[in-house]
Copies of this chain bind each other. A is one copy, B any other.
Amino acid sequence: MIQIFLFDEEKNCHKDLTLDQIRISLPNPDHLLWVNLANATPQETQYVLGDLFNFHPLTIEDCLSVGYQPPKIDDFGSYLFLIVHALHPDHRLDTLETFELNLYLGENFVVTCYAEESMPPVERVIQRLARDQRVYLNGSDFLCHAIIDALVDDYMPLVDQLDDELDDLEDAVLQKPHPITLQRILSIKHSLMTLRRILSPQREIINRLTRDEFPMVDKQSQIYFRDIYDHLVRIQDLTETLRDIATSALDIYLNSTSLRLNEVMKALTIVSTIFLPLSFVAGVYGMNFHFMPELTHPWGYPLVWVVFALIAGGMVLFFKKRGWF
C-alpha cells in the first residue's frame, strides 16, 4: 500500500494524490511530502524510490531485502537514509523480534518503507496528522522526529514487561527452582542482549542527528532528537539493570541445585548413619554361635533396646550439634 501526504504552502494537508503528483511537488521547496510504502510490491517500491525519487539503488536493495539488518544512517548529500528497528506489536519476551523501518529524509520530503503488514509507530503518526498540526508545520526533520519518537516510545513498555517477568522469575527461583525457570531466565537474558544490540547503534544514529551535521536537520529539531537520545540512554540503563537482575537470578538458581543436593544427601546420611550401626548390633545378636552368653541373659533383649536408643540418640545429638537439622 502506498500513502502520500502533501502539505502545501498554506499548510493544507492533501491525502489521496496519485504517484505522479510527486513529480510536481518534489522540486517545490515550500511543499512537504510524506510517502509511506507499507508492504508495497517490489515493483511499486522500485518505481517510487528509483524512478520518482532517484534514490541510490543500494538503498532500494536494503528496502527490498529481507533478513536482519543492523540500524544505520547513510548520508547521500541531498538526503539521508536510515534503518531503525520497531518492536513487533505482539513480540514475545523470550524471543524478542523487531522489524525494520527504512526512512529517507530530504529537505522537503520523508519516505518511509517497510515490509510488514502493520507498523504501529508510523500508523500512530498518520493518525496524529489530523489532530496535531505541529507534526508537519516544522518541516521534514520534525516529521522524521515524530516517527522515530513514536517508534522509540514502544521500547519502554517492553522494558517494563521484561521487568515484571524477571520479578516473577526471581520469586520462582527462590520458591521452586525448575529447569524451565532456568530456560526462561536465559531467554530473558538473551532478549536483553538482543535489545542492547539494537539500542546501541540507534543511539549512535540519533546522536549524529543531534550534532551539527546535516543541512536538513535544523537547530530546533536537534534539541528534539536529543530528547529521543535521552530516552534511548534511559532504556539502555534499565536494560543493564535488568541484565544484572537476570544474572543474579541465574546465580541463585544454580546455587539452589547444589543446595538441594546438600539437603538430599543430608537426609541420606542421617538415616544411614543411624540405622547402619543399629542393624549391625541386631545382626550381632542374630548370629548363631552356640556360646553367646548375652542371648540367655534375661535382661539381654531389653538392654539391646537400650543400646539401640543410645546409638540413635547419640547420632541425633551429634547432627544437632553440627547444625544439620
Residue A197, interface by CB 8 Å: yes
What 6 pairs between A and B have smallest CB-CB spacing? Answer: A282-B283, A285-B287, A275-B276, A268-B269, A289-B301, A286-B286
Report if A223-B58 is in contact (Cβ < 8 Å); known contacts: A70-B237, A282-B284: yes
* A273 and B268 within 8 A (CB): yes
Bitwise interface map of A from 53 to 87 toward B, beta carbon under 8 Å scored 1, else 0:
00010100110000011101010100000000000
Residue A182, interface by CB 8 Å: yes
Among the 9-residue stretches A1-9, A35-43, A253-261, the one with 4 or more Cβ atoms under 8 Å from chain B is A253-261
* A244 and B193 within 8 A (CB): yes
Q: Report which of B56, B250, B266, B267 forms a contact with A223, defined as CB distance below 8 A.
A: B56
* B248 and A69 within 8 A (CB): no
* A252 and B183 within 8 A (CB): yes
Tell me the minimal C-beta distance from A70 to chain B in angstroms: 5
Residue A321, interface by CB 8 Å: no
* CA gap between A233 and B69 in the complex, in Å: 9
Closest B residue, CB atoms, query A176: B323
| Size of interface on A: residues with Cβ below 8 Å to B | 83
Tell me the minimal C-beta distance from A92 to chain B in angstroms: 16
Residue A310, interface by CB 8 Å: no
Contacts of A61 in B (CB 8 A): 227
* B234 and A70 within 8 A (CB): yes
* A271 and B277 within 8 A (CB): yes
Residue A127, interface by CB 8 Å: no
Residue A161, interface by CB 8 Å: no
Contacts of A158 in B (CB 8 A): none
* CA gap between A269 and B264 in the complex, in Å: 7
Among the 9-residue stretches A24-32, A102-110, A111-119, A292-300, the one with 4 or more Cβ atoms under 8 Å from chain B is A292-300
Knowing that A68-B234, A197-B237 touch, tell me 11 more A-B residue pairs with CB under 8 angstroms. Answer: A62-B230, A76-B223, A182-B252, A260-B262, A261-B261, A261-B262, A282-B283, A283-B283, A284-B308, A286-B288, A289-B295
Report if A197-B287 is in contact (Cβ < 8 Å); known contacts: A257-B259, A276-B279, A279-B279: no
* B248 and A186 within 8 A (CB): yes
* B292 and A259 within 8 A (CB): no
Residue A12, interface by CB 8 Å: no
Residue A133, interface by CB 8 Å: no
Report if A282-B276 is in contact (Cβ < 8 Å); known contacts: A223-B56, A255-B182, A262-B260: no
Contacts of A259 in B (CB 8 A): 179, 257
Residue A265, interface by CB 8 Å: yes
Contacts of A179 in B (CB 8 A): 252, 255-256, 259
Contacts of A261 in B (CB 8 A): 258, 261-262, 265
Bitwise interface map of A from 13 to 26 toward B, beta carbon under 8 Å scored 1, else 0:
00000000000000
* CA gap between A247 and B104 in the complex, in Å: 38
Residue A126, interface by CB 8 Å: no
* A290 and B295 within 8 A (CB): yes
Contacts of A278 in B (CB 8 A): 280, 283
